[in-house]
Amino acid sequence: MMRGVWLPLLALAALAIAPLAGFSASYEMTLMARAMILAMAAVSLSFLVGGAGLVSLGHAASVGVGAYAVAILDANGFTDAAQVLPVAIGAAAIFALLTGAIAIRTSGVHFIMITLAFGQMAFFTASSLSAYGGDDGYTLYSRTEVAGARLLENRLAFHYICLGLLAASWAVASMLLASRFGRVLRAARENAQRAEAVGFTPYPYRLVGYGIAGAMAGVAGVLLVNATEFVSPAMLSWQRSGELLFMVILGGVGRLWGAILGALVFVGLETWLAELTPHWKMIFGPLLVVSVIALRGGLAGLVAPRHG
């Protein structure tokens, strides 16, 4: 399991050094922050997909719920992290638990579709929030403050907060998967009948896992809205959910750190291609197709192929 793990560690180390090594221009910092935040969301999705076998096509909604919680609190004058963070995480977790309670009753394709449906509901709810910009989105009055300090406005501090939280979410997700709880999730993913025959009902475990992944995505949402000081319904669109899934697959399902690589490569590729041509999606799309068809184990499969 641990082979190839040097690669994501190397990537995190590179991100830690980058601002000190001259990559501190505004657009570089913005780019890295975006990559790290998306990586965090992708790790939480990878926990669901690779760990629990729950392929959600509505994960961006959890990110969006976290982000909108920040926006709504901001509009009402609450900007302190001690208030914002618990509310945003709680909202994302509750959203995941409520929708998961219904979605997890289904499986396979129906699960994919019903998570998509809930994602769309969240998207349209966001569009209906006319007090918070509706379709046009909402611009924050101020970034979230930490103990009264405008810490997040310091680009360097924000960078390391993102990096720290990314590393933390990787660690937390790994810990969860290795725990008793995670063992039941993994067993039920691979062979639900077996898990049931020894006495485990998968449903509550999956639901709790779904809630946890939602909460982690909520944290990513808090950071994302702080990074751009802006949130709009587009953040919750199903295309965003598709991109998150792509990061997970590109990195390699079944290894949490694959999602980190997937997200970094995704953001890097997107940026690089967009500089090349305005029609970069015409290159990106086929790349996606080819990577799915040719790279079965994802990037992680390249550096650490699995046996059997």
Partner 1 sequence: MAESLLALRDLRKHYGGLAVTDGVTLDVLPGEIHAIIGPNGAGKTTLIHEITGVVAPDSGQVVFAGRDVTRLSLPRRARAGLARSFQITSVVAGFSALENVALAAQARAGSSFRFFRPAASERALNEAAMAALSEVGLADRAAVPAGALSHGEKRALEIAIALATQPRLLLLDEPLAGAGPEETERLIALLTRLKAAYTILLVEHDMQAVFALANRISVLVYGRVIATGTVAEIRANAEVRAAYLGEDDA
Partner 2 sequence: MTTQLLLVQALNGLQLGILLFLVAAGLTLVFGVMDFINLAHGVQYMLGAYLGASLAAATGSFWWGLVLALPAALLAGLLLEVLVFRHLYARDHLAQVLATFGVILFLNEGVKLVWGAAPLQVPIPALLQGGVEIMPGLQYPIYRIAVLVAGVATACGLWWLVERTRAGMLVRAGASNAPMVSALGVDIGRLFTLVFAFGAMLAGFAGVLAGPIFSVEPGMGDNVLILAFVVIVIGGIGSIRGAFIAALLVGLIDTLGKSLMPDLMRLFLDASAARQTGAALASMLVYIAMAAILAFRPAGLFPVRA
Establish if 179 lies at the interface with partner 1 (CB under 8 A). Answer: yes
- Six-digit token pair at 280? 């970069």
Q: Tell me, by CB under 8 A, how many residues bind partner 2.
A: 45
Please identify which residue in 110, 150, 155, 194 interacts with partner 1, judged by CB under 8 A.
194
For 107-176, the DSSP string reads -HHHHHHHHHHHHHHHHHHHHH-GGGTGGG-EE-SSPPBBTTB-GGGSHHHHHHHHHHHHHHHHHHHHHH
**String of b and e for 178-210 (b: at least 16 CB within 10 Å)?**
eeeebebbbbbbeebeebeeeebebeebbbbbb
Please identify which residue in 1, 6, 86, 105 interacts with partner 2, judged by CB under 8 A.
105
Q: Which does 157 bind (CB under 5 to 8 A by kind): partner 2, partner 1, none?
A: none
Please identify which residue in 78, 200, 238, 280 interacts with partner 1, judged by CB under 8 A.
200
Report how far residue 72's alpha carbon sits from residue 229's, in angstroms, rounded to the nearest whole number.
Answer: 13
Establish if 175 lies at the interface with partner 1 (CB under 8 A). Answer: yes
- Six-digit token pair at 264? 């970094």
C-beta closer to partner 2: residue 226 or 237: 237
Give one word for 306, left, alpha or beta, with left for phi > 0 and alpha for psi -120 to 50: beta
Q: Which of 218, 191, 215, 199 is nearest to 65 (CA)?
A: 218
Establish if 52 lies at the interface with partner 1 (CB under 8 A). Answer: no
Minimum CB separation of residue 157 from partner 2 in Å reads 35
Q: Which of 223, 100, 106 is nearest to 160 (CA)?
A: 223
- Six-digit token pair at 217? 């995505």
Please identify which residue in 18, 24, 80, 183 interacts with partner 1, judged by CB under 8 A.
183
Q: Which does 83 bind (CB under 5 to 8 A by kind): partner 1, partner 2, none?
A: none
Minimum CB separation of residue 171 from partner 1 in Å reads 12
Please identify which residue in 47, 95, 118, 132 interacts with partner 2, judged by CB under 8 A.
118
Question: 231: which strand partners?
Answer: 138
Please identify which residue in 2, 26, 27, 130 interacts with partner 2, judged by CB under 8 A.
130
Establish if 69 lies at the interface with partner 2 (CB under 8 A). Answer: no
C-beta closer to partner 1: residue 135 or 196: 196
Q: Tell me, by CB under 8 A, how many residues bind partner 1.
A: 25
Minimum CB separation of residue 103 from partner 2 in Å reads 8
Establish if 268 lies at the interface with partner 2 (CB under 8 A). Answer: no
Report how far residue 205's alpha carbon sits from residue 207's, in angstroms, rounded to the nearest whole number.
Answer: 5
> Would the CA dihedral through 247, 81, 236, 33 be positive or negative?
negative
Report how far residue 253's alpha carbon sits from residue 231's, in angstroms, rounded to the nearest whole number.
Answer: 29
Interface residues toward partner 1, by CB under 8 A: 175-176, 178-184, 186-187, 190-191, 193-201, 205, 208, 308
Interface residues toward partner 2, by CB under 8 A: 49, 55, 57, 102, 105-106, 108-110, 112-114, 116-118, 120-121, 124-125, 127-131, 134-135, 238-239, 242, 245-246, 249, 253, 279-282, 284-289, 292-293
